[in-house]
Amino acid sequence: MKGEFRSESVEREGSPPSAELAGRVVRAVEEALKLPHPAPADEALLRDVEGLDSLLEEIAALREFSLAMARGELDYGARHRGVVIGALKGLQANLRHLTWQAQRIASGDLDVRVNFLGQFSEAFNSMTDQLKGTLREKDRLAARYKDLSDHDPLTGLYNRSAFQEEAARLLTDELFRERSSALIMSDIDHFKRINDSFGHQCGDEVLRRVSGLYRVGLRQEDIVCRYGGEEFLILAPGISAGVARGIAQRLGDAVREMRIVWEGSPVAVTASFGVCALPPLGQDGFTLRFLREHVQIADLNLYRAKHGGRDQVVGGDCDDADAGAECCGPEN
């Protein structure tokens, strides 16, 4: 019958109803879980319930073992010790593996996954995915900030400091360090007059257009920067000053042929160029002083071009660049 507790060992005259006995059993078990030495009032009656003594002994043994473990007595000799210690060892192994996973994450390996700790594993893996996304965004922003810090915002060309870094990288590369190279300094002619006549917005447009011509008119390995104001500096690695002079002449032709109309009026633009040879680095290596000295020579040749009538190239006429001569400087 539903709700009744039946036992063959207590089916005798004068025994309490089965439901009442079941309640006493439940209370006895509850007391055993709470007290070290349970002493129910009707202990004699409950002793007749089959298996109850064994259950109470098991409960008492487990309780004593739990208390011993809580006190740190890991050598406690209970028959349940093997099961519990085995579970603890399994947990310890999992935690060691988790520590190893965490160390891999700390070293940058964000592809690790944990699958042995249930919901904790899900939270751990979710944390790893979020960390990976955060690092990807950090790398993207770092690359973006580096790009912004390296480039002139108006023209998109390298700025001076980034040009120096790229020049050091190129000139020390195995492909170019034993070969001559060349510098080309360029300046837009009468740029102040353009600003005064058409306004600074027109001047900005001229700078952007000239920058675009220089980008497409150079080789892939060449680098160009906005050196300052309306001046541009080009490094052409692995070629002689004479070849660089030809490049400068083609760039000058492209600038002269460029058509800019500002508010209905044509804007005539020309550029002047100074060329200087860069000797092979050899065993001396690259230094900023080496670069600055040759930039100064290219700048002096540019000065000669502007004061010689503008819209022309000066320098790059000598053939001894491969011998390491600092040619094409101004005459004394």
- Chain centre distance of CA 155: 27
Q: Taking a C-beta distance cutoff of 8 angstroms, is the pair 185, 176 a contact?
A: no
| Residue 230 annotated to the active site | yes
Catalytic annotation, pick one of 58, 205, 230, 331? 230
Residue 51: strand pairing partners: none
| Helix ranges restricted to H, 107-199 | 119-150, 160-171, 191-198
User: Using CA atoms, how far apart are residues 55 and 293, in angstroms rounded to an integer?
Assistant: 96
Q: Taking a C-beta distance cutoff of 8 angstroms, is the pair 206, 267 a contact?
A: yes
* Dihedral sign for Cα atoms in the order 12, 17, 19, 22: negative
Pairing of strands 231-236, 181-188: antiparallel
Using CB atoms within 10 A of its CB, is residue 89 exposed (0-12), middle (13-18) or buried (19+)?
exposed
Using CB atoms within 10 A of its CB, is residue 253 exposed (0-12), middle (13-18) or buried (19+)?
middle
User: Using CA atoms, how far apart are residues 259 and 240, in angstroms rounded to an integer?
Assistant: 31
User: Using CA atoms, how far apart are residues 8 and 160, in angstroms rounded to an integer?
Assistant: 100
Pairing of strands 231-236, 223-228: antiparallel
Instruction: Report, as residue numbers or ranges, the catalytic residues.
Output: 230
